[in-house]
Chain A
Amino acid sequence: MKIAVCIKRVPDMGARFKIGADGASIDETGLKFDMSDFDEWAVEAALQLAEKHAGSTVTVISLGPDSVQETLRKALAMGADAAVQLKAESVPAGGFAVAQALAAELKDGGYDLILFGRLAVDSAAGITGPMVAELLGLPCATALCKLDVQGTSATGERQIEGGVEQLAFPLPAVCTIDQGLVVQARYPSLKGIMAAKKKPLASKPAALGGVGVTITKMELPAERAAGRIVGEGADAVPELVRLLQTEAKVL
């Protein structure tokens, strides 16, 4: 089975963010970067499928500046076989430009399965995967928390508001991976890190398409006003209930 995983390099969400001088970007000074959580789970899912289906290969693809090579190397160290950087100065908003570039790269790759994380934790949009599926004319199953491949078809499960949907679809297909599909993504071993240095990493210009959606401003959210400790223990409950009724008016 030939599997591709599209991954994104994102800032560590634990950071205290600052807005860039242009007022429409995150100031990257001092930030640490890593693979988006959902994308790590997608890589892990791909590696597990490859282990189950002999003769499989896993190719990881990332769009962005040369710094994404570090993220691609990490995926190679985890066990992916080959990597492709689609070189672009930055990752445009709206998903469509990126989807076009990815689709152009994936189109003739002969992939049976193309995986994405459900969303990138920085832009938090979750739109690129289904767009790529549409551009390639492939079936698409989103937000999977279970995925099994049987020959040329697959079954999956996704959690929706108030329920769980079980899905069946033919391959080739595009899937986006949600939390819960894998327990944890593996850490690159020392052996994996050494091996990754010798694995192929191709770099080519990204064929970015039109944009249509632009970020005009970024700002930090207003801080929540400091709250108060109503009291200690069960004795504080009457005062809490009173405040919820008279002050917050939510009860």
Chain B
Amino acid sequence: MANVLVVAEARGGALKKVAFEATTAARTIADASGGQVHAVLVGAPGIAAEASKLGATGADVVHVCEHPALEQFDAEVLAATVAAAAGATAARAIVVGGTAMGQDIAPRVAAKLGVGVAADATEVTMDGDAIVIRHPMATGKVIATLAASGPVAVITVRPGALAVGTEARAGTVQSLAPALDPAASRVKVTKLTTGGGGKLDLAEAPVVVSGGRGLKAPENFKLVEELADAFGNAAVGATRAVTDDGWRPHSDQIGQTGRQVAPNLYVAVGISGAIQHVAGMRNSKTIVAINKDKDAPIFKVADYGIVGDVFEIVPKFTEMVKAARAQR
């Protein structure tokens, strides 16, 4: 009987998709030894309403920690609370979504427990008693297999990489007190500014439309935004050249030093396909490239390419995507 703890990330009062992906990974680990999945759900009062969704994706117990100060992310409170919950549930593994939040707290929890982190898993399996993860490293050019041993394994899972399970469990709600008074926390989030209304998160969007220098000027990014809007479920990304020039925020950068995404569909508009960019999107299921240079390296990774002027092709593509979606 080995229990698994999952940290279910919520933002703005709602669970993030990665919380369900992490819960599913936790289920895989727990099932190998007949253990239970315990989820930790932290947020402002009212967050308990989200608990049943965790039950629906495989959590046996949901430990809900509500506190007015936890409207904002608080790494110190969260890390302390998760470490305490790991002890209380005799967890042999802790699974955390590898978001900005998860990357922040997972190493702290691990250090509190005196173990390492198996980070950024794109696959989580069991090999007998050992938890085995696959992790793309060196900008995705090498895939490492890591085994986590020790009394407790701390794992982060790459957002969007793992499937969400449908095996429902009880999801029994228990209340959990913060293990640290939020007033004592030293690092304070003084302000959270969210991106444009309803804009999809790159890590969660099933479609990503990215633009590069081929768009020639920042105002032409509206072509990319319009195409993303036409898909209805797309986030907008960019190359480093474009974010370095201030056309787009650094948070939109896809690549070696930016975000790594693996959507169902990746559309590269006016992107040459430098290796640093490809490192961030090569695991996308289907890749479309539109570029004027037929020899651009992006066509080597693209499933479908169109050679030509993005200013002619993209508006037509937008129009036809809209029409195709309207027909469904």
Contacts and interface: CB of A to CB of B under 8 A. Distances in A.
Interface of A: 11, 13-14, 16-17, 19, 26, 37-38, 93-97, 99, 121-131, 133-135, 139-143, 145, 155, 158-170, 173, 178-180, 210-221, 224-234, 236-238, 240-241, 243-245, 248, 250-251
B270 to A, nearest CB: 15
Contact of B103 (A123, A143, A245): A143
Which of the listed residues B75, B114, B144, B150 has the most CB atoms from chain A within 10 Å of its own CB? B144
Given A17-B138, A233-B313, A180 B250 contact: yes
B27 interface: no
Interface stretch (B46-54, B168-176, B186-194): B186-194
B238 to A, nearest CB: 12
B305 A162 contact: no
Nearest to A243: B304
Contacts of A155: 190
A97 B116 contact: yes
Contacts of A131: 107-108, 110-111, 117
Task: Using C-beta atoms within 8 Å of the partner chain, give the interface range for chain B.
Answer: 35 or more
Contact of A245 (B114, B153, B189, B324): B324
B225 interface: no
Given A229-B299, A248-B265, 10 more contacts: A96-B117, A131-B107, A159-B251, A160-B99, A221-B142, A221-B282, A229-B305, A236-B308, A237-B317, A243-B304
Contacts of B258: 179
Contact of B187 (A38, A93, A129, A169): A169
Given A142-B104, A236-B308, A127 B117 contact: yes
Which of the listed residues A129, A139, A170 has the most CB atoms from chain B within 10 Å of its own CB? A139
Contacts of A128: 107
Nearest to B304: A230
Interface stretch (B33-41, B198-206, B213-221): B198-206
Interface in B111-128: 111-112, 114-120
B275 interface: yes
B256 A13 contact: yes
